[in-house]
Amino acid sequence: MTANARCCINPSILSADFVNLQAELDRISTADAVHVDVMDNHFVPNLTIGLPVVERIAQVSPVPLDVHLMIADVDRWAPSYADAGVHSVTFHVEASNAPIKLARELRARGSKAGMALRPATPVEPYLDMLDELDMLLIMTVEPGFGGQSFLDVTLPKIRRARAAIEGSGASVAIQVDGGITAETITRAAEAGASIFVAGSAVYGAADPAQAIEALRAKGQLALG
């Protein structure tokens, strides 16, 4: 792992109370960002929120928005999320026909560019485009639903991605999403991830701020 890597905790509002979303955002004000899952019931078998809600969240959130697009036709829709003023937009490479073009467009519109891979999608075909990205999201569950268990089968992919990033000299963070708990965050961090999406581990806790701090401490310890 790169020296002085900082552990970031991005709670997912997929586990929040959508009726009281502004209050739920305030409960995670100590997080590094809020992870906003956008699902269209096409790319994944679930339906969540769209652009108008994301725009409103961006206006009231106490922390930056980390938007994860699990949608079809992402080349068409992703730039609008960058225009909404969010900190980062992550698209699934499986849904993009032109990932390099899309990553460049997101950056040109003022957002950081993230690219996500499903658990079974290999990272190797995309290593040549690392310089086009700010973040690589390696899904540690099948995308679509919260509350799933961490897939250890993804750990070797995280390690290979980290080795390739360090070998290339690219400045790309590795994010993991799915099944992150006080126990699994250590394994994921040791493999090379530094940004962790946690849903139920934060919002299912009596004190979300305390849960965030505990996860951050465990992850940072593993990062060294």
Show which residues are catalytic.
37, 177
Please say whether the beta carbons of 54 and 27 come within 8 A.
Answer: no
Write the secondary structure of the chain as one string of H (helix), E (strand) and C (coil).
CCCCCCCEEEEEHHHCCHHHHHHHHHCCCCCCCEEEEEEECCCCCCECCCHHHHHHHHHHCCCCEEEEEECCCHHHHHHHHHHCCCCEEEEEHHHCCCHHHHHHHHHHCCCEEEEEECCCCCCHHHHHHHHHCCEEEEECCCCCCCCCCCCHHHHHHHHHHHHHHHHHCCCCEEEEECCCCCCHHHHHHHHCCCEEEECHHHHCCCCHHHHHHHHHHHHHHHHC
